[in-house]
Amino acid sequence: PGDKKIIVVFVLGGPGSGKGTQCTKIVENFGFTHLSAGDLLHAEIKSGSENGTMISNMIKEGKIVPSEVTINLLQKAMLESGNDKFLIDGFPRNEENRAAFENVTKIEPEFVLFFDCPEEEMERRLLSRNQGRDDDNIETIRKRFRVFVESSLPVVEYYDMKSKVRKVDALKPIDEVFESVKAIFAPFHT
């Protein structure tokens, strides 16, 4: 006991590519615990933590919160879940995130699920999401796209070099995207 292998899948893709939507469906079918780094950061703001103001300001600017904050929240959520299979959604977002996670947790992802979607479609989805997210305005959306291309895509390229990327066409309707996702997760069927 205690030494069962922990399985981590990083779920990456641009803002509005459908990471959260597809993770919910993976959880229903494959017994993973879904941890959205962005949602954990939003919860940390709500909890009134001393980092809250800093996190809130960074999200409004589309900037990447310091690794140690995000990794602490992820590690805590992993422990509290009691599960051993995780979808880590929206993290790592830059090289520093990636290296710090590997150094701190000693966990390497099983694979990286990457949602490939054109920017104009992601923009359409975010502008019509209407869930009151304070980063879903056109100014912040443009900043998020820029950070994604400059900082997050290099992480996808890093894992692609290691043949760990499973790329999915995320432009299709939700159920069709999930058909592709299901094929990738078939080995994990419970």
* Residues at the site binding Mg ion, with contacts judged by CB under 5 A: 19-20
CA dihedral 132, 130, 27, 2 (to 10 degrees): -20
Instruction: Compare residues 25 and 163 and give the one whose CB is closer to ligand UP5.
Output: 25
The stretch among 46-54, 77-85, 106-114, 172-180 that binds ligand UP5 (CB under 6 A) is 172-180
Applying the rule CB under 6 A, the residues between 57 and 76 that interact with ligand UP5 are 58-59, 62-65, 70
**Alpha-carbon distances, residue 32 vs 11, 118, 155, 169 (angstroms):** 12, 28, 23, 22
Question: Which option in ligand UP5, Mg ion, none does residue 129 bind, with CB closer than 5 to 8 A by kind?
Answer: ligand UP5
Smallest separation, CB 70 to ligand UP5 (Å): 4
Smallest separation, CB 90 to Mg ion (Å): 6
Instruction: Compare residues 21 and 163 and give the one whose CB is closer to ligand UP5.
Output: 21
Q: Which of 10, 15, 25, 165 binds ligand UP5 (CB under 6 A)?
A: 15
Instruction: Compare residues 45 and 99 and give the one whose CB is closer to Mg ion.
Output: 45
CA 37 remoteness from chain centre: 6
List residues near ligand UP5 by CB under 6 A: 13, 15-21, 36-38, 41, 58-59, 62-65, 70, 90-91, 93, 125, 129, 135, 144, 173-174, 177
